[in-house]
Structure 1
Amino acid sequence: MAIGLLVCDDSMMARKQLIRALPPEWPVSISQACHGEEGLQMIRQGLASVVLLDLTMPVMDGFEVLAALRSEGLTPKVIVVSGDVQEEAIRRVTELGALAFIKKPAEPEELRQTLERLGLLNPADSAVASPEPVPSRPAFELKINFRDALREISNVAMGRAAALLAKVLGVFVELPVPAVNIFEVSELHMTLADAQRGERCSALCQGFIGDGIAGEALLLFHDSEISDIAKLFNWQPGNDVETAEMLLDLASILIGACLSGISEQIDVRFSQGHPQLLGLHSSIDSLIHVNQRRWRKTLAVEISYSLEGHNVHFDLLLLFTEDSIQRLSHKINYLLN
């Protein structure tokens, strides 16, 4: 008899990769959900006795799904498959009842070993033909769009960056769902202005290039939060030079780890410039005016990090040049096929 399996993830690319990684002989009937609330409804309807659950999702995230399952007395066997690899995230999902944690993208052998360890897959099934036919797997005839794929790649990369930041600062980093858009400079201006909510800010950038893909990473800090960042670093900057040094250190951690996560997934080695200060205590208007020629039309990945328990939020934008889009699309298509 087929096991009811729910794959709950907001990314079609992630669901496709995960279903492809399932042991081919595992007799499962697969349902899919694109956010936690939809997945929870399917579990309530009895469609899933096993759940492969993402953490970073809109509407209801994976942490909230696990908490709801516990409060409602629902007992599917949950394996978390996530790009959020912070030690605290793994501890929290285990405490909430998840049976295992697998980092994205899931490797078929690791997934198989996890299923066998949990008694969900009989190792003998691979050696002996199943007496019942294995239900057919979903056919992914629909094309996964470029933005969804890049968003998922960025999601995995930002999770690795957050894990490093969490370890360095001793904090828990709350991760958003990344946004992917193609902006003219005027639209980028509006996006940045909205992100900064009218506050003065400090901004840093770091260029990168590799295999026909180039761009800049832009990191924005609200000035009102710099003192909180300094406390986390156990730093007491006495002047703007020392403040800039602290922010450059933080930019190196976040941007370097995020670009490394992307390059690993799409098999591109990026050469990275040194982080540079664009402006301290500046308005978005002045930053855009100074830099509008270099940004022009750009593919932007927006990630807004928050630190739990601290008044610290900062916005990371990966700005790819317009000329990079075709090459980036080619690399992503190769990854999917």
Structure 2
Amino acid sequence: MTIRAQVAGVGHYLPERVVPNSELEKTLDTTDEWIRTRSGIEQRHIAADGETTSEIAAHAAQRALDDAGLGPNDLDALIVATSTPDLTFPSAATMVQARIGMERGFAFDVQAVCAGFVYALANANALITSGTARRVMIIGAETFSRILDWTDRSTAVLFGDGAGALILESGTGDGSADDRGVLSVDLNSDGRFRDLLYVDGGVSTNSVGHLRMEGKEVFRHAVAKLAASAVAAMEKAGVTPEQVDWVVPHQANIRIIQGTAKKLGLPMDKVVVTVQDHGNTSAASIPLALSVAVTRGQIKRGDLLVTEAIGGGLAWGAVVIRW
């Protein structure tokens, strides 16, 4: 018998304000056609004044609880992946814990930028398989609109705000790739590439910064590293690309998504794509895509999924999971 971290519920939330590409044409030297061609993005959601990361995370959390038929005190742990917490401390996770009425267990944040949800998923899996927790909620939530330089057309058009949540619970399998739950994890980072994607300010530098990115270099690293990590995770799980039902990638850029799928030898009709509707929501993008795909009826129980993401650090990784 093998302990597996199995999916119990999923949910997502997007702020009410929708900003189409046409709105950005009014303030930036860009066009709807340019944005669509370069990124695949058609619109993004922007948090309202005073709407915080913990607030949108709590909305997604409640929807995941409803989907699972659980209450907040059925959770043993809550992990929030974010690079845009409400405050320096306490963690956004403890704020979400209070917002949803979870009065037991423990909560903490994970910061790996766009790869944050993959890292949080790996942590949740480890907590469950070690017996430390029986049921863990993982949330990816971001208000990236607060750290954008809205005069920089190379970054301002790419990002948006949102949250997605996934609940994992302890189950059992026979140790084969046919088991439901997380089958394998592959995590990586390389701090030598820090300057490719970063925020030029922070607490210890006593400054408030904005997101900065070397787009061409990030693209070059992304396709190669995401494909390699996905392959490594599949090898650990003992599965092949042909067996995969869905790739659920970080929703950063349609060209990265297409390039990675091609490198894996998988057709785009096996790839969940939602980037057109909400842009790059960093750590929120994978759980958002998972929740949307379930709502659409794409992902079904028993499907074999590969998720992969890369973000600032650089940090990247992949997870193989049977739904």
TM-score normalized by the length of structure 1: 0.27
Bigger RCO of structures 1 and 2 (CA < 8 A, at least 6 apart): 2
Larger Rg: 1
Question: Which structure shows the higher helix fraction?
Answer: 1
